[in-house]
Structure 1
Amino acid sequence: MDSSDQYSAPMADPAATAPVTQRALTRIQAMLRSGAFPPGSSLPPQRRLADELRVSRASLREALSILGTLGIIRVEHGRGTFVAARGDDDQGSEPVPAARRFKGRYSEAEVYQFRCIVEPRAAALAALRLTLGEIGRLEATNRA
């Protein structure tokens, strides 16, 4: 081991944890659609919800982060996690267009920098998960 590796830990592959996070995300969305947690209500504490979903708290937090980014829930630190109420700046269980939610918060340069960081990794992860059928559809689209 050379000295440059001495202090660096191996990076975890985000793809390795994605299925668990996706499973948590899917189950929470199903709960919201079923009406188990109506708009404005609070979700159970993270520890209990993670136990119910049989996922780690880290995977649950990632799923909640995704739902928060979509405007489906809001996290109030010290108070809990709440289902976004219709009439708030969000649309309950429907995603809110990012352009509307972030309007005036970030400059075009900041948005561009963010996209330069996130989009290549997102595309790489998506490419790793492509099925043969999806590859065929992409190739057909490119030929058209």
Structure 2
Amino acid sequence: MKGAAKVNTFKEAQNLRIGVIAGSSYLAILKRPENGLLEDNIETVAFDSRNFSKLIGKRIDAWFTLDIVGITTIKNSIDGKILTEKSFQIGKAIAKQEKYIGTTIDTPKELINKVHDAIESFKKTSEYTKIISRIPN
């Protein structure tokens, strides 16, 4: 929230109560020993909307999620009177993850190629550009 120190590194988050989705890859990132975070300071929930509620209720100090998830949740949850988008601040990206589509060994190569080609083709559309433009930085 505005007024609190912006969190741009794991070191800056070391003494904060951090909200994250239970069982997620984000939780696994927070628990990595090299990040130096205390497990007792990590609070898990089933839905990001709960992290939003905990953040505005000051039950957590920071919320570890994708910026697009945070921004969308904020936009859909504020009333515009007491809280606005400017009531929040987003720190720098401190962890990156690759996304993959997994298949079994029995998946036909033709299907894999078809999905790959469809994704690459979609990346060339204006719809894809529109989606990507909504993601900050």
| TM-score of Structure 1 vs Structure 2, range by shorter chain | under 0.3
Q: TM-score, normalised by structure 1?
A: 0.25
Greater RCO, CA 8 A, separation 6+: 2
Higher helix proportion (structure 1 or 2): 1
